[in-house]
């Protein structure tokens, strides 16, 4: 059974196996002690389990039921109790707001035919799933919260940064790795901090 960052993970042929894009995110997680985090497209659960080492609670969601069952088993195998995994098409079954939201986006153009394809295929242009994620993420970020998106240069990094800005999020590339014909990048977006209307301004 393979070990990643000290975690023993069971794998499944129809669930995306941790790879270079997963490791880029794993090595640059923005979660801090006591925060609550959301891992969208959790796969084996690796990112959620890593965040659970610092976070008070982590929710991992995936559209692939096989991934959700696998992630639950991997949490049990590693004795991680402050995580929950559930089936969800992006934010469909997600309630509440989080300090950190992570997403390793599918980016290949096309339509999924098998469960494993859900982690790889992002729609006709390759961006449809990512764009839906950006459209909904602000509703699930606390003020000052961070969204971390892993994507390929194939699907347009500048387009992602532009769409984040349009939603009121700052965005910057914080890590990059060249793999074969593409760059895998990690983009961090930050939600604005809203001043509490009940607090009198300092004079």
pLDDT at 163: 96
Task: Give pLDDT, residue 135.
Answer: 97
User: Tokens for 93?
Assistant: 């079954």
Among 134, 132, 110, 135, residue whose Cα is nearest residue 122: 110
Distance CA 81, CA 98 (A): 18
Q: What is the pLDDT of residue 39?
A: 98
Looking at residue 31, what is its pLDDT? 98
DSSP β-ladder status, 98-104 and 141-152 = parallel
- Taking CA atoms, 187 is separated from 101, 147, 190, in Å, by 12, 8, 10
> Residues for the chain: how many in total?
203
Q: Which element (helix H / strand E) includes 135?
A: helix 128-137
Question: What is the rounded (10 degree) CA torsion for 109, 115, 120, 125?
Answer: 20
Per-residue pLDDT of the chain (203 residues; tens, 9 = 90+): 899 999 999 999 999 999 999 999 999 999 999 999 999 999 999 999 999 999 999 999 999 999 999 999 999 999 999 999 999 999 999 999 999 999 999 888 888 888 888 888 888 888 999 999 999 999 999 999 999 999 998 889 999 999 999 999 999 999 999 988 888 999 999 999 875 433 333 33
Beta strand pairing call for 36-40 and 57-62: parallel
What local confidence, expressed as pLDDT, does residue 180 receive?
A: 80
Domain 3-190 bears CATH identifier 3.40.50.150: yes
Q: What are the structure tokens assigned to 124, written together?
A: 């006709």
Residue 154, exposed/middle/buried by CB under 10 A (0-12, 13-18, 19+)?
A: middle
């Amino acid at each position: 059974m393979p070990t990643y960052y000290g975690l023993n993970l069971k794998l499944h042929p129809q669930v995306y196996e941790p790879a270079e894009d997963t490791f880029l995110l794993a090595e640059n997680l923005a979660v801090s002690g006591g925060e609550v985090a959301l891992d969208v497209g959790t796969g084996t659960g690796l990112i959620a389990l890593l965040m659970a080492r610092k976070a008070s609670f982590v929710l991992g969601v995936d559209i692939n039921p096989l991934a959700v069952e696998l992630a639950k088993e991997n949490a049990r195998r590693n004795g991680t109790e402050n995580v929950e995994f559930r089936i969800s098409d992006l934010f469909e079954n997600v309630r509440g707001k989080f300090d950190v939201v992570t997403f390793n986006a599918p980016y290949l153009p096309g339509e999924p035919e098998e469960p494993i394809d859900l982690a790889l295929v992002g729609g006709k242009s390759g961006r449809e799933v990512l764009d839906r994620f950006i459209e909904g993420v602000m509703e699930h970020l606390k003020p000052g919260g961070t969204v971390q998106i892993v994507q390929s240069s194939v699907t347009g990094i500048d387009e992602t940064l532009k769409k984040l800005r349009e939603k009121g999020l700052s965005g910057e590339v914080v890590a990059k790795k060249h793999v074969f014909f593409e760059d895998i990048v990690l983009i961090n977006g930050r939600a604005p901090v809203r001043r509490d209307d009940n607090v009198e301004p300092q004079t």
